[in-house]
Amino acid sequence: MYYKTVSQLILGVTPGPGQPADLESFLHPIAEELNELASGVSGVTVAGIREPQTVHTFVVQFTTDMPGGDKLLKAVGSNGEYAGRFRIFAGVKHKRRYYYAPFDPDDPPPSKRPRFDVKGDRLPRQTADSITAGVAKVKSARAAGQSKAAVRNLAQKEGFKGYSLFFWPNPSGRGSLPCF
């Protein structure tokens, strides 16, 4: 007979007054423990069930503030050309920053043709594959020895600086994370 038991393990990470130089160095031990739990823990006594059970875990959700989410995703954030993270809408570059005016600045007034609509499902969405492809471009530019400015500009264009441990891990190491 199959029993379904649901429990939650809530993990909070508060790095302190300053940000860590490498957030993922703190997250790797958590990922390793989640992997152990994903493979199953046997002999767990569950209330209402006579025989010991094997329990498995999986990640349901990550909740952060905007800067924390950008760090966790390794996203460029609001300074990128595509700041929507998962919706593809482009900003207008002015000097070194991108701006997201609701109307096309090239349209003469009184036109005010909307540049994008963040509501609904008309905009194409970023996928794990499209993000991984963009990150691969940034990584190859970095590996090719391009200047920091060139790599930063490419990351701004792609929206992401690197692979994210929990969301789109490096394809070569993806198999080592069975719980994701």
Tell me the per-residue pLDDT of 37-95, one tens digit each, with 9 for 90 and over: 888 888 888 888 888 888 887 777 788 777 778 888 888 876 666 666 666 666 777 77
Quick one: the chain helix, strand, coil %, rounded to 5?
Answer: 35, 10, 55
Distance separating alpha carbons of residues 73 and 135, to the nearest angstrom: 11
In whole numbers, what is the pLDDT of the chain averaged over residues?
Answer: 76
Residue 4: pLDDT above 70? no
Residue 19: pLDDT above 80? no
**123: its two tokens:** 């905009």
Average pLDDT score over residue span 165-170: 77
**109: its two tokens:** 């007034």
State the CB neighbour count (10 A cutoff) for residue 45.
Answer: 9
**176: its two tokens:** 């080592």
Residue 179: pLDDT above 60? no
Tell me the per-residue pLDDT of 147-156, one tens digit each, with 9 for 90 and over: 999 998 888 8
Q: Where are the domains of the chain?
A: 20-60, 64-165
Q: What is the pLDDT at residue 151?
A: 93
Distance separating alpha carbons of residues 39 and 93, to the nearest angstrom: 47
Q: What is the DSSP letter of 147?
A: -
Distance separating alpha carbons of residues 159 and 132, to the nearest angstrom: 11
Q: What is the pLDDT at residue 136?
A: 92
The residue length of the chain stands at 180
Q: What is the pLDDT at residue 139?
A: 93
